[in-house]
Structure 1
Amino acid sequence: MFMAVALLYGVLDRKRSPLSPALRSLVTVRVSQINWCRFCVDVNSATLAKRTGSMEKVLALADWRHSDLYDDVEAAALEYAEAMTCSDRQVTDELVARLSKHFDDDALVELTGLIAFQNMSSKFNSALDVPAQGFCQLPPPGQ
């Protein structure tokens, strides 16, 4: 099972992806936060910090709607990730219209696959209570 999951992740995180590496990491961290996966937040935050060159976006991500750190493309992708992940939300025609301003069909399919994959991965790891491994040293909540 691990090999199949690793293979799928490799397809989604390849160099020729229509999504930028930083955007892919941003989305995976947000989905991991929503699903309370300590391991996924840890490892994906470390990757996001490396890909963006700082911890700024990592630290502001839980409250991204109130931050000016995220551009329109990132905001649309994050809203889509939340709509796909949170069971009390839906992907609306309005949201898809906003997404289509930034993503062609191939990129939107890839974004959808990435969000779905991260939901599976983070829910799996969260259910098994896989702990953070210290890849990304985040300050305690409230600091």
Structure 2
Amino acid sequence: MPRVSALGRDDLPEEQRPLWDKMLAYGPFAGQAGVMANRLPIFEHNWKLLTQLSDEAVLDKRYLELAIITVSLVNKCDFCIDQHAPKLAVAGLVLEGVETLEDLKAYPPLTEIDRLVIDYAIAVSSDWHRIRDQVIEDLRAHFSEAQIVELTWRIALCGAFNRFNDVLQVSV
């Protein structure tokens, strides 16, 4: 049970309801969106951003979801892990038996690019002030600048969501 009320679609102003519907098509995030809906600018701007990024899809879903799972493991956010593991499976990587960051880093089916994304997500989440130019150059070998920008933003945003969800005890 969340620490604040989770609102629903009918609690929103009429003009926000299509965004709620689009959010539900994005994934099972009604609990999180419902808590955010207590402040409409937070609900509106976050879900417009997330659904627009999803619609444009410049970053392969596999790498996006792998980064989100990694950040959520770093921050121990069970809500986000539970919400994103199925999305990662749809993107081609089922993480059977992965419960910790150490399990993930040692997971045999990961590719070189997967491991690069994991290392970058860990660095952005916990050691961002020490990321060297070589890390970005390594990313450039596989990702465009737009993809690097989105990957970095989504990693940072996921960290914020992890904290939001844990502090307010957001559930599905």
TM-score, normalised to structure 1's length?
0.78
In the alignment, which residue of structure 2 is the partner of 1:4? 45
Equivalent runs, 1:86-125 vs 2, <5 Å: 86-87=126-127, 90-125=130-165
Counterpart amino acid of residue 69 in structure 1: P
Q: Does 1:65 align with 2:89?
A: no
Distance 1:8 1:42, change over 3 A: same
Which segment drifts farther, 75-84 or 65-74?
65-74
**Aligned equivalents of 2:49 and 2:150: distance in 1?**
12
Change beyond 3 A, Cα 1:19–1:66: same
- Displacement after TM superposition at 1:104 (Å): 1.5
Task: Supply the RMSD in Å over aligned alpha carbons.
Answer: 2.2
User: Partner residue of 1:26?
Assistant: 66
Q: Secondary structure at the match of 1:11?
A: helix
Deviation at 1:125, TM superposition (A): 0.8
Of structures 1 and 2, the larger Rg is shown by 2
Distance 2:52 2:114 in 1: 21
Residue in 1 aligned with 2:170?
130
**Is 2:116 the partner of 1:82?**
no
Q: Percent identity?
A: 25
**What is the one-letter code of the residue matched to 1:76?**
L
CA deviation after TM superposition for structure 1 residue 62, in Å: 2.2
Unaligned regions of 5+ residues in structure 1, if any? 134-143
How many residues matched? 130
- Relative to the length of structure 2, the TM-score reads 0.66
Instruction: Name the SS of the counterpart of 1:68 in structure 2.
Output: coil
What are the superposed Cα offsets for residues 84-131 of structure 1, whole Å, 9 maximum, x if unpaired? 101487321121121111112111111111112211111111222324
Q: Which runs of 4+ in 1 moved over 2 A?
A: 11-14, 53-56, 58-68, 87-90
**Residue type of the alignment partner of 1:19:** L
Distance 1:12 1:120 in 2: 17
